[in-house]
């Protein structure tokens, strides 16, 4: 799968998760979901600030949440109907497994 197709499939999946209310985005929401054990997969924007990236990676390690970096802050925000987002967590196992498969493919 080429890079453009991969990006399209990932943004479509994230948009569906947002419509189904199975995703949380923004620093506070991501942290709350992780602490409550609801986070199934953490997606960090490629152009996330280094300090924020470290914070999200620590959150991932601490709570055992699979994580990956993909999309820019603007792309991530756009597919969620927001201005921009540095990170988002999927709250549903099905969406999380599908996203992991897309990112690995």
Determine the distance from the C-alpha atom of residue 84 to the mean position of all C-alpha atoms in its chain, rounded to a whole number.
Answer: 12
Q: How far apart are CA 84 and CA 60, in angstroms?
A: 21
Q: How far apart are CA 81 and CA 85, in angstroms?
A: 10
Cβ atoms of 17 and 23 within 8 Å: the answer is: yes
Instruction: Give the pLDDT confidence of 41-70 residue by residue, as tens digits.
Output: 999 999 999 999 999 999 999 999 999 999
**Residues facing 67 on adjacent strands:** 42
What is the model's pTM?
0.94
Please name the fold of domain 3-104. Answer: 60s Ribosomal Protein L30; Chain: A; (3.30.1330)
* Residue 98 in tokens: 């599908």
Q: How far apart are CA 46 and CA 37, in angstroms?
A: 24
Q: pLDDT confidence of 105, banded at 50, 70, 90?
A: confident
Residue closest to 16 by CA, chosen among 85, 81, 73: 81
Instruction: Give the pLDDT confidence of 3-33 residue by residue, as tens digits.
Output: 899 999 999 999 999 999 999 999 999 999 9
For residue 1, the model assigns a pLDDT of 78
């Amino acid at each position: 799968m080429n890079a453009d197709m991969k990006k399209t499939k990932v943004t479509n999946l994230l948009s569906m998760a947002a419509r189904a209310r199975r995703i949380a985005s923004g620093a506070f929401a991501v942290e709350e979901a992780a602490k409550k054990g609801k986070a199934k997969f953490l997606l960090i924007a490629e152009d996330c600030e280094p300090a924020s990236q470290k914070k999200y990676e620590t959150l991932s390690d601490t709570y055992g949440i699979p994580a990956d970096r993909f999309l820019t802050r603007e792309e991530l925000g756009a597919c969620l109907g927001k201005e921009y987002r540095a990170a988002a967590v999927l709250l549903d196992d099905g969406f999380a497994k599908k996203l992991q498969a897309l990112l690995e493919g």
